[in-house]
Chains A and B, each alone.
Chain A
Amino acid sequence: MRVKNPKAVFQEIHDAAAGRRASVEKQAVPTVHLGMATCGIAAGALETKKAFEEAILERGIAAVVHPVGCNGHCYAEPVVVIDHPDSGFPPILYPNVSPGKAKMLVKLFLEEGDPRFEHILGATVENEMIPWVMEFSRFSKETRIVTRLCGQIDPESIDEYILKDGYASLARALEMEPADIRQEIKASGLRGRGGAGFPTGEKWELAAQADGGDKILICNADEGDPGAYMDRTILESNPHQVIEGMAICALAVGAEKGIVYVRAEYPLAVDIVGKAICQARETGLLGDCILGSALHFDIEVFQGSGAFVCGEETALIQSIEGARGMPVYRPPFPVESGLYGLPTVINNVKTLTTVPPIIEKGAEWFRGIGTPGSPGTTVFSVVGEVVHPGLVEISMGVTLRTLIFDICGGIPNQKKFKAVQIGGPSGGCLPEEFLDTPIDFDSLNEAGAMMGSGGMVVMDEDSCVVDVSRYFLDFTQNESCGKCTFCRIGTRHLLDILSRITKGEGSREDLSCLKDLSRAVSEGSLCGLGRTAPNPVMTSLKYFEDEYLAHVDHKKCPGTTCRDLTAFYIDLETCARGCDVCVGCCPVDAIFTTRTRKKGIDQQLCVKCGECKVVCPPEYDAVKRISPAEGVPVVERLDKE
């Protein structure tokens, strides 16, 4: 049935792309690579881009601005790499490039050849003049498979992806038998990256054997965890690797229709994926007779409307069918009877993105990365109290300590590490003794947390685990679809109890009630949302019981976070006479001047926003926060009438 040799057709496409790129690159001018994903834009990349373009035009320099995706270094956004071959310097990475800095770099580096060493983070290749970024652990300890091209190529250019050997794996897969592709994925030990870790090869095998009409492949990019954004970054930075992975999967299971289910809250990702699909179609990499073979496969985008539960596959299917996204009982599993009753394979973005490298380099290579039980890499978005937050791709089995302290730079401001919350609303809170736990599906499950979505929040001594548990319960309670009684009402009561505790109104009975109710919610719920919703409470109760007891018994919040249990006051010893900074910033005019012309806080008016503590000059550092609130020294207000 095969008309042409896919590899030969691919070679033609590759050569054509190379020809087009060569005419662009022939000019050999300095290039400014600028990270333009959502996070970069939020940090001001659009203004920076404009500044670069204006300055280049103004000075009449031959240079181009090349938009790329996100490289995961959120702390350094907007990130710019300037490749100026004539200057004699290697490509240099500059962090936090404001419009002013952009104009300065155009003048001093592009025009005059001075790279301004004080602004450099590092060089992107090894050289003798400037430290290579791979000498820093933030770069060197990562293992990039899924995000290997993120931040390096223009996501809107299929040519750039093809020239990085993109779609070569698809050409290779087209020369394999579908059963061999499935065998390769099975042999690689790849597990679903959506959180639960179901073996991908097995899922594909089940789908391939299912009968009952045309098969459908869904790429699940309904990233709902309020603190994880790796799926979005992948779609925005390298959409073609996702499409390639989908095409290979379609070939392996025999699907002709694919859907990318992406959140409508990610407008840039929706836009970029849509464009990428069109480009792939025009290039003959999607549609009929892909690369001259008998494979027919096309993809459309469906925008999810923002319901956390739709990350669950049966709920996701319900929402595509136009219903409320409520999970349904399995079996039948979607691979047997899914969307409109057709066999449906649902894989996470990261799972599908991992597929092309496996086909390219083989299952053996993939098994060599990570742990025997969880081969490969995983992407975490590390946020909270770390020096270098952002997206990090590590091989499975790396310890939490390496991730938090070596890669992300540890805790800022000389604070102590308290806990790390892994897996978002379904995950758990782990204390210091788990820092040497390797990160993989099984070890995290054993510890009571879970891989989940890959969100990771690092907390220092000033955070409160009770408050974080309450936060996640607030989220799951809101997102519970309401189908199962235990989830619908149970999470509400869990939240009420936790709110009571954070207000200092909790009792010891509440703690035992939390434990019982958590177990009940977990056992009495149908889908993953309800079953894992109590995880944040259960793990924090297990590992941080003393914090709960402090809240309940002494009305004290050890992390001085819970607002009802803390109070601000101004230390009259260190407060400076005549300094009015705090008075000016207080949003509720709670700060007054005492008889000694120092300041005091009116506890009745104070809303505990902490602004005064932030603005108080560090040489005085006079604003203090204490818990319990009753311990606050009383300063009489005289100006009140």
Chain B
Amino acid sequence: MDQNDNIDETKMLRDIEGRLGVFGRERGSLIPILQMIQEKYQYLPKGALEIVGRHLEIPSAEVFGVATFYNQFRFHPPGRHPIKVCLGTACHVRGGDIILENFERKLEIKEGETTPDQEFSIEKVACIGCCALAPVALLGETVHGGMAPSKVEGLVLRIEVEKEMRQRAGKKEQDG
């Protein structure tokens, strides 16, 4: 398993290195490069920051400093079902923190973490701009408005059930 991860990471870093060619070597390319990597892999692998530093001829500490400054960048891979809970003003007034807490309790992880099976991750975001639907949570790309604690249960349960059904179907195929 570990070995697999290593192979994947090497492959990933090689791929990232290949994509840097289109970017100039000036400092102004730094943020667009980081955005490109994150768009491709959903997070910034540690090794990638070093590659970017080499490309721009700046210390990787500088790259790290810029990357950590901005909210957009993530340093761990998100779960297969990333959950984003909106904590914008309207959602706060309507109890967004309660929704966050329910996800945390239900999945037994804290905000910013990923479940051990890599299935779910929880993040908080500041306003996704559909305040009339507050409180709001994003599951993947889908917006769920008018969230309530029982809806949290329902959403998580649905994904777990779907996963189980897929597994069963896969098993049947294997058996049959």
Chain A residue nearest in CB terms to B142: A42
Minimum CB–CB distance for A407 against chain B, Å: 14
Q: On chain B, which size bracket covers the interface?
A: 35 or more
Cβ proximity bits A218-245 to B, threshold 8 Å, 1 near / 0 not = 0000001111110011000000000000
Contacts of B28 in A (CB 8 A): 320-322
Say whether A322 contacts B29, CB under 8 Å: yes
Say whether B153 contacts A587, CB under 8 Å: yes
Say whether A305 contacts B71, CB under 8 Å: yes
A306 to B73, CA, bound (A): 9
Say whether B72 contacts A383, CB under 8 Å: no
Stretch among A160-168, A564-572, A607-615 lining the B interface: A607-615
Contacts of A307 in B (CB 8 A): 69-71
Known: A303-B35, A305-B71, A383-B134. A232 touches B143 (CB 8 A): no
Chain B residue nearest in CB terms to A468: B93
User: Is B155 on the interface with A (CB-CB < 8 A)?
Assistant: no
Known: A324-B66, A587-B153. A610 touches B90 (CB 8 A): no
Cβ proximity bits A136-164 to B, threshold 8 Å, 1 near / 0 not = 00000000000000000000000000000
User: Is A192 on the interface with B (CB-CB < 8 A)?
Assistant: no
Say whether B89 contacts A457, CB under 8 Å: yes
A630 to B35, CA, bound (A): 51
Contacts of A459 in B (CB 8 A): 93
- Residues of chain B in range 67-101 having any CB-CB distance to chain A below 8 Å: 69-73, 87-90, 92-93, 95, 98, 101
A383 to B30, CA, bound (A): 36
A513 to B56, CA, bound (A): 47
User: Is B51 on the interface with A (CB-CB < 8 A)?
Assistant: no
User: Is A585 on the interface with B (CB-CB < 8 A)?
Assistant: yes
Known: A587-B150, A609-B102. A264 touches B35 (CB 8 A): yes
Say whether A610 contacts B95, CB under 8 Å: yes
Known: A43-B133, A229-B131, A607-B101. A325 touches B89 (CB 8 A): no
Greatest chain A CB density within 10 A among B26, B126, B131 is at: B131
A585 to B152, CA, bound (A): 11
List 8 extra interface pairs beyond A305-B31, A609-B102, A611-B150, CB under 8 A: A38-B129, A74-B131, A226-B88, A233-B129, A305-B34, A322-B27, A322-B56, A324-B69
User: Is B45 on the interface with A (CB-CB < 8 A)?
Assistant: no
Chain B residue nearest in CB terms to A231: B129
Contacts of A229 in B (CB 8 A): 127, 129, 131
Minimum CB–CB distance for A52 against chain B, Å: 20
- Residues of chain A in range 468-507 having any CB-CB distance to chain B below 8 Å: 468, 471-472, 475, 481
Say whether B65 contacts A324, CB under 8 Å: yes
Known: A321-B28, A468-B93. A74 touches B130 (CB 8 A): yes
Residues on A close to B: CB < 8 A? 38-39, 41-43, 74-75, 77, 224-229, 232-233, 264-266, 302-303, 305-307, 319-325, 381, 383-385, 389-390, 421, 424, 455, 457, 459, 463, 468, 471-472, 475, 481, 585, 587-588, 607, 609-611, 614-615
A513 to B39, CA, bound (A): 45
**CB-based closest 3 A-B pairs:** A227-B89, A229-B129, A305-B70
Say which residue of A43, A385, A390 sits within 8 Å of B145 (CB atoms): A43
Residues on B close to A: CB < 8 A? 26-32, 34-35, 56, 65-66, 69-73, 87-90, 92-93, 95, 98, 101-102, 105-106, 125-134, 136, 143, 145, 148-150, 152-153
A320 to B29, CA, bound (A): 9
Greatest chain A CB density within 10 A among B73, B125, B126 is at: B126
Contacts of A39 in B (CB 8 A): 129-130, 132
Known: A322-B66, A468-B93. A306 touches B131 (CB 8 A): no
Say whether A585 contacts B66, CB under 8 Å: no
Say whether A42 contacts B102, CB under 8 Å: no
Contacts of A43 in B (CB 8 A): 130, 132-133, 143, 145
Contacts of A319 in B (CB 8 A): 31, 70
Contacts of B72 in A (CB 8 A): 264-265, 305-306
Contacts of A614 in B (CB 8 A): 148
